[in-house]
Amino acid sequence: MADPKGFLTTPREEWPRRPVAERVRDWDEVHVPGALLPIIGGQADRCMDCGVPFCHQACPLGNLIPEWNDLVSREDWRAAAERLHATNNFPEFTGRLCPAPCEAGCVLAINQPAVTIKNVECAIADRAWAEGFAPPAPPERLSGRTVAVIGSGPTGLAAAQQLTRAGHTVAVYERDDRIGGLMRYGIPEFKMEKRHLDRRVEQMRAEGTKFRTSTTVGRDVDATELRARYDAVVIATGATAWRELPVPGRELGGIHQAMEYLPLANRVCAGDLESSPLSAAGRHVVIVGGGDTGADCLGTAVREGAASVTQLDIYGRPASERDEDAEPWPTYPKLYRLSPAHEEAGALRTAPTADADARVFAASTLRFEGDAKGRVCALRLVEVDSGRRAVPDTERTLPVDLVLLALGFSGPDRSDGLVDRLGLALDPRGTIARDAGFATNVPGVFAAGDAARGQSLIVWAIAEGRAVAAAVDRYLTHSPSRLPAPIGPYDRPMTV
């Protein structure tokens, strides 16, 4: 560390966000462009270069955080980019989208605000692209082995890049018309502009990875034929089977799944559509589900010009401070957090809630009510206690004309027949079963990411992609792999 007293003299300062009134009028990322670089050296200097760096342990990728904090504080950006890419294929994704379990685990966080690790990561990644420190890295020689990767989310992309760089010939099959998985058509532009994704895909193409878009394996391509054609297959198809809300009135018009709504908004940003057929413009919107997908719907509805937006969370309002007994450091605590989307909804006073951040906590939906045309016009809810029991005399009605369901995902979408056609075994949760080496019950077929782990995070998806690549490389070469395997299939986050 360049300044051993940095953590005593410099307060934590995050990448500033653009004013709410400005950013809700566009789809660009919420942060002030160019405002990170001037502050990031001082922030990296706050790192204590701990003898036992818990940040590193808390990161599923095993990012070498103290090393690159030190390099950034010394302004050695080239070396920082090299150390960052040593453990993470796509740091510009995690630098923008990760909830940063590393920061919850930072030793400084015991009694001070943590080092802004995620901002440092993003600064290095962006600088690496700006300075040309992330050139394509094609293999020196080809192995003669072929791999099909099914699914182009962060898992499939990480696996494909690792295997291509190891010399194998890799084709990525994707059912959508563009590459990227949930990062393309789930996550909104204001959280990560798609140019970051496009740039990586171009880098991968230059390295030799082939992409086959608009191709659903199981429907457009027979899964067993594909298995026969390639030496190995990696299934990275995600967990996109959404959960339903089986309450009276669910069949009414105007009630949609979050993943029916968000892709259309992303297509508007991509220039495919002039406006979204499900646009929230002028409508009273209720989002059922308190998680990040719900928050993405919230930010999207605000930008589309909703008349009001309310987000229902079945859980009670979390505490603002870590409960040291229930969720001690260095675990990732469930805290009350105001995401940029919540900030926007609150500041614009679009929420009919006392909180003014658009969320109603401890709320359970009882039923939807419709108008004469069969469209939803009201949502009846009740307050619930921590055991999800209704609290007497708390029923009330919210006026609504667009309901978005963001209740999470139960496992892989099986409508394409891929799982059944290959005869893949599932585990009791409905995700694809695999052994300690990421291998499914079908020889030569491996499974990774949300499809096998269940709904998770981008950082876990990249770690899964890297780990499955090492397993496939071992299988193809019949020898120990030189590719890193940061996690095993049964590793779980440091959360309670």
What does 66 interact with, of ligand SF4, ligand FAD, none (CB < 5 to 8 A by kind)?
ligand SF4
For residues 151 and 155, what is the distance between their CA atoms, to the nearest angstrom? 8
Closer CB to ligand SF4, residue 47 or residue 232? 47
CB of 447 to ligand FAD, least distance (A): 10
Cβ atoms within 10 Å of 390's Cβ, excluding its own: 14
Closer CB to ligand FAD, residue 181 or residue 249? 181
Strand-strand pairing, 445-447 and 232-235 = parallel
CB of 195 to ligand SF4, least distance (A): 29
Closer CB to ligand SF4, residue 117 or residue 235? 117
Closest CA to 238 of 155, 147, 157: 155
Beta bridge partners of 211: 172
- Token code pair at residue 405: 């369901």
Closest CA to 197 of 158, 234, 165: 158
Contact 188, 481 (CB under 8 A): no
Beta bridge partners of 447: 235
What does 54 interact with, of ligand SF4, ligand FAD, none (CB < 5 to 8 A by kind)?
ligand SF4
Indicate the residue type of 175: R
Contact 419, 432 (CB under 8 A): yes
What does 440 interact with, of ligand FAD, ligand SF4, none (CB < 5 to 8 A by kind)?
none
Closer CB to ligand FAD, residue 152 or residue 203? 152
For residues 126 and 199, what is the distance between their CA atoms, to the nearest angstrom? 11
Phi, psi of 363 (to 5 degrees): -120, 130
What does 151 interact with, of ligand SF4, ligand FAD, none (CB < 5 to 8 A by kind)?
ligand FAD
What does 47 interact with, of ligand FAD, ligand SF4, none (CB < 5 to 8 A by kind)?
ligand SF4
Contact 246, 240 (CB under 8 A): no
Closer CB to ligand FAD, residue 36 or residue 451? 451
Q: What distance lies between CA 209 and its chain's CA centroid? A: 23
What does 187 interact with, of ligand SF4, ligand FAD, none (CB < 5 to 8 A by kind)?
ligand FAD
Contact 209, 164 (CB under 8 A): yes
Closer CB to ligand FAD, residue 223 or residue 384? 223
Closer CB to ligand FAD, residue 270 or residue 356? 270
Q: Which residues bind ligand SF4 (CB under 6 A)?
A: 47-50, 53-55, 65-66, 69, 106-108, 115, 117
CB of 118 to ligand SF4, least distance (A): 11
- Token code pair at residue 162: 């690792």
CB of 137 to ligand SF4, least distance (A): 27
CB of 374 to ligand FAD, least distance (A): 28
Q: Which residues bind ligand FAD (CB under 6 A)?
A: 97-98, 150-156, 173-176, 181-183, 186-187, 191, 216-218, 236-238, 240, 262, 292-293, 296, 416, 418, 449-451, 456-459, 461
Contact 368, 244 (CB under 8 A): no
CB of 169 to ligand FAD, least distance (A): 18
CA atoms within 13 A on the CB side of 351: 21
Segment holding 312, helix H or strand E: strand 308-312
Residue owning tokens 């619930």: 384
What does 174 interact with, of ligand FAD, ligand SF4, none (CB < 5 to 8 A by kind)?
ligand FAD
Segment holding 344, helix H or strand E: helix 340-347
CB of 288 to ligand SF4, least distance (A): 37
Closer CB to ligand FAD, residue 120 or residue 459? 459
CB of 131 to ligand SF4, least distance (A): 24
What does 175 interact with, of ligand FAD, ligand SF4, none (CB < 5 to 8 A by kind)?
ligand FAD
Q: Omega before 138 cis (within 30°)?
A: no
Phi, psi of 95 (to 5 degrees): -60, -20
- Token code pair at residue 463: 């770690």
> Is the C-alpha dihedral spanning 414, 291, 54, 5 positive or negative?
positive
Residue 154 per-residue DSSP state: H
Closer CB to ligand SF4, residue 107 or residue 280? 107
CB of 1 to ligand FAD, least distance (A): 28
What does 106 interact with, of ligand SF4, ligand FAD, none (CB < 5 to 8 A by kind)?
ligand SF4
Contact 153, 238 (CB under 8 A): yes
What does 108 interact with, of ligand SF4, ligand FAD, none (CB < 5 to 8 A by kind)?
ligand SF4
CB of 5 to ligand SF4, least distance (A): 13
What does 182 interact with, of ligand FAD, ligand SF4, none (CB < 5 to 8 A by kind)?
ligand FAD
Closer CB to ligand FAD, residue 399 or residue 493? 493
CB of 472 to ligand FAD, least distance (A): 15
